[in-house]
Chain A
Amino acid sequence: MTTETLRLVTPETPWRVRSKSQLVYIFIASTLPAALTFLIADQMKLAGLIALTIVFLPLQLLAASLAALITVGKRGILDAILTVSVLFLMLTMGFLLGSVALSLVQKGFKALSFHAIYQNSFYVTSVTSLEYGGLGHALVGTLVIVGIAVIFAVPIGIAVGVFLTETQSRMRGSVRFLSQAMTGLPSIVSGLFVFAFLYLTGWVQRSAILGSVALFLLMLPTIIRLSEEVLKLVPQELRYAALALGAPRHKAFFQVIFPAARSGIITTCLLGTARVIGETAPLIVLVTYLPSTNFNPLSGDMASMPTYIYSWLKFSTDLANQRAWGGALALMILVGVLFTLARFFGRKRF
């Protein structure tokens, strides 16, 4: 008997079912404002963006509130207002992001091709056809400059994060304060600091490593802050469990706490890298753009993606413009590739 009845039962979500009158109100509240906006904008010849913000948004808020008042009651009003506002903001942000990505692809894809990835721009002028030359030198430069900054900032930043979470030292307060203050360091100031402190004093000759140092300074506070937050998320019970088994602090960290925080730590490195990979100001100050390839960070000028883009923007020809857009698109793709790789390696095993 039971098997027969059981077969008739289907999974449902009764909490989502709406009555017919509710559906009618929702329909009216979601179509009427848009229709009215079209009419008004047409009559008064308003521009699209103005109609959207001055006419549509208030109308939609009003309609949603009224519909909520009738179907739910007073407490529905705030919900309706927040829902409409959040959706509106979300669509606005999505539109902005989408249009940035779209214009990058539209204007940049012509300058990107297979040869553009490995060729440099040594013989390229502002009127050279896009069939020749590329941004390989800038790609190499960015990877070298940012790579050196990452190699130093990641271990040091994580070590400071560990110091802040895993020790009871009295210095923690001041270290935390200083690293937070460093977060607000404008990138141009970081560049000028390195220029004055390392270059003008003659300690370091003109080279790409100056740029790495500036990016390191910008990256470090981000990594410290994020790795501290990530390590704080590891439950205290796990630390106690490890120590109660007779683990020295360092083994408890490397075998228990770090593995538990691993995916967060990788995200931390990513966000730190993302913070500096498109950084332009310190590189313009410190590392002069070079149209040919230079692998040596310790001497000579070097190209990088931001300075590559900047160097082509200085010309007014269409071709130079397209090369600049191509550089911007390549930078975005590079960031995308790095993020995907890090996500892949940082995924949770369990």
Chain B
Amino acid sequence: MESLNPISSNSFGADVHLSTKDVHVWFGQRHVLEGVNLEFPVNSVTALIGPSGCGKSTFIRTLNRMHELIPNAKLAGEVLLKGQNIYAVGVDPIQVRINIGMVFQKPNPFPTMTIRGNVLSGLRLSGKHSRNEDELVENSLQAASLWNEVKDRLDSPAGSLSGGQQQRLCIARALALAPDVLLMDEPCSALDPGSTIRIEETIRSISKNMTVVIVTHNMQQAQRVSEQTAFFLAEDNNPGYVVEAGLTNDIFHNPKDKRTEDYVSGRFG
């Protein structure tokens, strides 16, 4: 299927940071994602919406080469980070993942580490060094709006935090590596409204100097945080594809496709 309405850099007025060219995904023989062409401008927030099982999470995992960790995973097409294909031969997936951070659906702080240790784990794990670790811990936790709640117990285990705090700790952990792009796979689906609002505030503030891609099932959230939106859909065992992509305002208030209109107005999905 021909992909419709790729987001054009001109419509947003900023340079393209990350883009995909005709990305197809298979698990074994099963074709799950078809012909995705999307562009993510510098320092923008892009929401990926669509019903369950349409391949949003699969797609976001292709953007930082986490996809290949699943056995039987296959892929075709290109993912370009600043024009460079991250799947090109010789590109180090480790470097890609350092540049493109990720926050998962379920909070997954490292249970054997302290809060401080979790924030610094990215440095330790990727072999980077920081001149001032205390400052980095504070800045990252500030950016994830968790600092005030944990500043007096940085050495307690990460497991002692609540679910919402754990998720913000995971965001702080990703931010500590200062990635260019942050991928978030339904980061608020397990959280209460209060934590959700705080994470949305975090997203808005980090997007001043970071490109954010967020998968969400919450249509209000997509409208609140994102500048552009892509609507994914998979019909009857066919691979998922992008029905429509564009500025968030247009997708929600002036959709070109009937299916987008039905979805954003809650008629299905």
Closest to A242 in B: B125
| Residues of A10-26 contacting chain B, CB below 8 A | none
Q: Is the CB of B97 within 8 A of A240?
A: no
Tell me the bound Cα distance from A235 to B104 in angstroms.
13
Of B169-177, B218-226, B229-237, which binds chain A?
B169-177
- Number of A residues near B (Cβ < 8 Å) is 23
Contacts of B64 in A (CB 8 A): 244
Q: Is the CB of A237 within 8 A of B106?
A: yes
Of A94-102, A196-204, A252-260, which binds chain B?
A252-260
Known: A246-B177, A251-B127. A240 touches B66 (CB 8 A): yes
Q: Is the CB of A244 within 8 A of B157?
A: no
B166 CB to nearest A CB, Å: 11
Contacts of A238 in B (CB 8 A): 108, 110-111
Closest to A247 in B: B125
Contacts of B36 in A (CB 8 A): none
Closest to B66 in A: A244
Tell me the bound Cα distance from A241 to B172 in angstroms.
13
B102-138 vs A, CB cutoff 8 Å, 1 = contact: the mask equals: 1010101111110000000110111100000000000
Q: Is the CB of A350 within 8 A of B94?
A: no
Q: Is the CB of B94 within 8 A of A246?
A: yes
**A245 touches which of B95, B101, B106 (Cβ 8 Å):** B101
Known: A235-B108, A256-B110, A349-B112. A244 touches B121 (CB 8 A): no
The verdict on A248 contacting chain B, using a C-beta distance below 8 Å, is yes
Known: A259-B112, A350-B157. A247 touches B126 (CB 8 A): yes
Tell me the bound Cα distance from A292 to B97 in angstroms.
62
The verdict on B98 contacting chain A, using a C-beta distance below 8 Å, is yes
A235 CB to nearest B CB, Å: 7
Contacts of B170 in A (CB 8 A): 241
Q: Is the CB of B125 within 8 A of A237?
A: no
Number of A-B pairs whose CB atoms are under 8 Å? 79
Contacts of A260 in B (CB 8 A): 110-112
Contacts of B113 in A (CB 8 A): 259
Closest to A168 in B: B71
Known: A237-B108, A238-B108, A240-B104. A255 touches B124 (CB 8 A): yes
Known: A241-B170, A246-B97, A246-B98. A256 touches B106 (CB 8 A): no
The verdict on B159 contacting chain A, using a C-beta distance below 8 Å, is yes
Q: Is the CB of A244 within 8 A of B97?
A: yes
The verdict on A243 contacting chain B, using a C-beta distance below 8 Å, is yes
Contacts of B69 in A (CB 8 A): 239-240, 243
A163 CB to nearest B CB, Å: 15
Contacts of A349 in B (CB 8 A): 112, 157
| Residues of A209-265 contacting chain B, CB below 8 A | 235, 237-248, 251-252, 255-256, 259-260, 262
Tell me the bound Cα distance from A246 to B94 in angstroms.
5
B175 CB to nearest A CB, Å: 11
A233 CB to nearest B CB, Å: 12
Contacts of B157 in A (CB 8 A): 349-350
Tell me the bound Cα distance from A259 to B102 in angstroms.
22
A168 CB to nearest B CB, Å: 6
**B125 touches which of A235, A252, A259 (Cβ 8 Å):** A252
Tell me the bound Cα distance from A350 to B157 in angstroms.
7
Contacts of B101 in A (CB 8 A): 244-245
B110 CB to nearest A CB, Å: 5
Show 17 residue pairs from A and B whose CB-CB distance is below 8 angstroms, ordered by the A residue: A238-B108, A238-B111, A240-B104, A241-B104, A241-B108, A241-B110, A242-B110, A242-B121, A243-B97, A245-B121, A246-B97, A246-B122, A246-B177, A247-B125, A248-B127, A256-B110, A350-B159
Known: A240-B66, A245-B173. 17 other contacts (CB 8 A): A237-B108, A241-B104, A241-B108, A241-B109, A242-B121, A243-B97, A244-B64, A244-B102, A245-B97, A246-B126, A247-B125, A251-B124, A255-B121, A256-B125, A260-B111, A260-B112, A350-B157
Residues of B participating in the A interface, judged by any CB pair closer than 8 Å: 64, 66, 69, 71, 94-95, 97-98, 101-102, 104, 106, 108-113, 121-122, 124-127, 157, 159, 170, 173-174, 177
Residues of A participating in the B interface, judged by any CB pair closer than 8 Å: 168, 235, 237-248, 251-252, 255-256, 259-260, 262, 349-350
Q: Which 6 A-B pairs have the closest CB atoms?
A: A247-B125, A246-B98, A246-B126, A259-B112, A350-B157, A237-B108
